[in-house]
A = this chain, B = another copy of it.
Amino acid sequence: MAAPLPRDPIADAQRNWEQHGWADVAAPMAAITAIMRTQQILLARIEGALKPFGLTFARYELLALLSFARSGALPMNKASALLQVHPTSVTNAVDRLEGSGLVARSPHPTDGRTTLIELTAEGRIVAKRATAVLNAEVFGQSGFAPADVDQLIRILGAFRRNAGDFTD
């Protein structure tokens, strides 16, 4: 781990923005930059927790999504939509998960264009174990105060809705 900096680099950036005549957008700039950095920290923790399973976050998300599907299977385009990533990213994740024997591709019964992805027995087990580890090591020790978690869910939920993620 890199040594801590003596000062918050984002707070410094915010001050720089204010001193260069961009005070009106200095705060949003700082908030957005902080989101970028926080994502980086969280992603590193998540990947670290998943490493023993040979999983990355992208692959884990797909496994978790499938494990919650009633039938344990989903069309690729559906997975792409729900995970909100590009179809090619799903193709990539499925290729690797299939190589590890955690999911399997199967043709859609009625639509020849569609491919279904399905959890294998081993995939279901790995998904469960990986979730347990993530819950214990990452989500359970996020470092966010409960009240702040609620704030984040509210603020980011509104942002995502506003960005067109969902209409709910």
A residues engaging B (CB < 8 A)? 1-2, 4-11, 13, 16, 22, 24-25, 27-32, 34-43, 57, 64, 68, 81-84, 131, 134-135, 138-140, 142-144, 146, 148-153, 155-168
Contacts and interface: CB of A to CB of B under 8 A. Distances in A.
Q: Counting chain B CB atoms within 10 Å of each CB, which of A2, A42, A155, A156 scores highest?
A: A156
Given A22-B135, A42-B35, A155-B152, A160 B27 contact: no
26 contacts: A2-B81, A5-B82, A9-B166, A13-B68, A22-B131, A27-B150, A28-B140, A28-B142, A31-B152, A31-B156, A34-B153, A34-B156, A35-B39, A35-B42, A35-B156, A36-B39, A37-B84, A39-B39, A40-B84, A41-B163, A143-B159, A143-B163, A144-B155, A148-B155, A151-B155, A152-B155
Overall SS of chain A's interface = helix
Contacts of A135: 22, 25, 29
Contact of A6 (B6, B68, B166): B166
Nearest to A30: B153
Contact of A157 (B10, B139, B151): B10
Contact of A24 (B1, B34, B68, B140): B140
